[in-house]
Structure 1
Amino acid sequence: MAQLLALSSAPDAEAMLPALGLLAHGVRRHPSDPGHLMALPDADVILVDARADLVAARAACRLLHTAAVEAPVLLVVTEGGLSAVSADWGFDDVILAGAGPAEIDARLRLVLARAADAEPTRVQASGITIDEQSYSAKLHGRPLDLTYKEFQLLHFLATHPSRVFTREQLLSDVWGYDYFGGTRTVDVHVRRLRAKLGDAEQIIGTVRNVGYRFNLHDEDHRQDD
């Protein structure tokens, strides 16, 4: 029996997957707004309600993905919402709200099996080593004392090396929602991150009038050749 966490702002969250009530899995409801997503109770699988608000569901999935939440994410959608769903949201599987108990049980088993087989991801580039499991980062073996958001920002840029992101894109992908402070908060976090990188601050590059990117050293390019 799996312990499921249903993320939904709807009062009828129990109706997200009606057939789920016919199975023995435990289900716990949790608010899906960004504030509550920063402190999630333990769960084997997270269900994200995308039946009525695809934009909010996309933001929730991306926030869970950038936060490197260990539990696999199962997106619950209506048939009409399938056309808007994209793999870059960061979920592990998708299921229709009207699915029967056999399909629900099968998808849960499969998504749990894939999660069990997945190896922890370690990012290594330009002297930076990022361990997703321990939420830690090192520069040439020296631990970096990063805040949670600084770690998320570095992790996101390092996993998309050389790609330029606008401040708006970083707010969407790292913060997961429209941050109250606006795009200036990105500049503030980049400045603080660079200060902690010290002499290696050039790893976080600025593209004038566009945004920021993670710069690869020449040796990283040679290793890829």
Structure 2
Amino acid sequence: MNKRRILVVDDEEHILELIKFNLESNGYEVYTCENGEESLRFLEDNTMDLMVLDLMLPGIDGLEVCNRIRRMSGHEKLPIIMLTAKGEETDRVLGLELGADDYMTKPFSIRELLARIKAIFRRTEVKEEVKGKILKVKDIVIDTEKHEVTVAGTPVDLTLKEFDLLKILIENRGKVLSRNLLLDEVWGYDYFGETRTVDVHIRHLRKKIGDDESGEYIDTIRGIGYKMK
């Protein structure tokens, strides 16, 4: 089996060395960049399986890098874990809404970073094993083999987390799924009560499937979680 390829972007040399050493020790193929411009140039010629991206970069910051990657052909669904020394919720929410799959605040535990990376790859492997499964709710159609979603025949571009959320909601249509259950199933580890993450992704998902105003598909169950109608 080929090694998973991970790009790490951070302007602090010791952080790059620390992450690179530990990821390589765990069997990953690791590439590093020290700024946003360099990382975007690198991705023009290289395909990665995951990206660890610092928010506070010189020049183009991590939020803008994330935003541009989501518009780059071939990298739209690249899993991104965002790192930052800033702990404000506004930065976390911005990163998630721009398409980051996960968010860690410096200083962070290498063990936790490894756990989150492994969780993302486990979900990827599960999706690769699913063959020919079509899920439907009203005008929403999910092709799990092709990892494609359409609403009323129109393709909808979802991030990895948004796709996983929509899939689990449809598979459990009519059931109320708590925020903690969704965190466990979609993120694959204990998120220490940061259920706000689920709300951000659900809001973004609703907007993309045209549910933000109509409320046709997803119900919010106050104080508990969500269900697919």
TM range (shorter): 0.3 to 0.5
Q: Which has the larger radius of gyration?
A: 1
- TM-score, with length taken from structure 2: 0.46
Of structures 1 and 2, the one with the larger relative CO (CA 8 A, separation 6+) is 1
- TM-score, with length taken from structure 1: 0.47
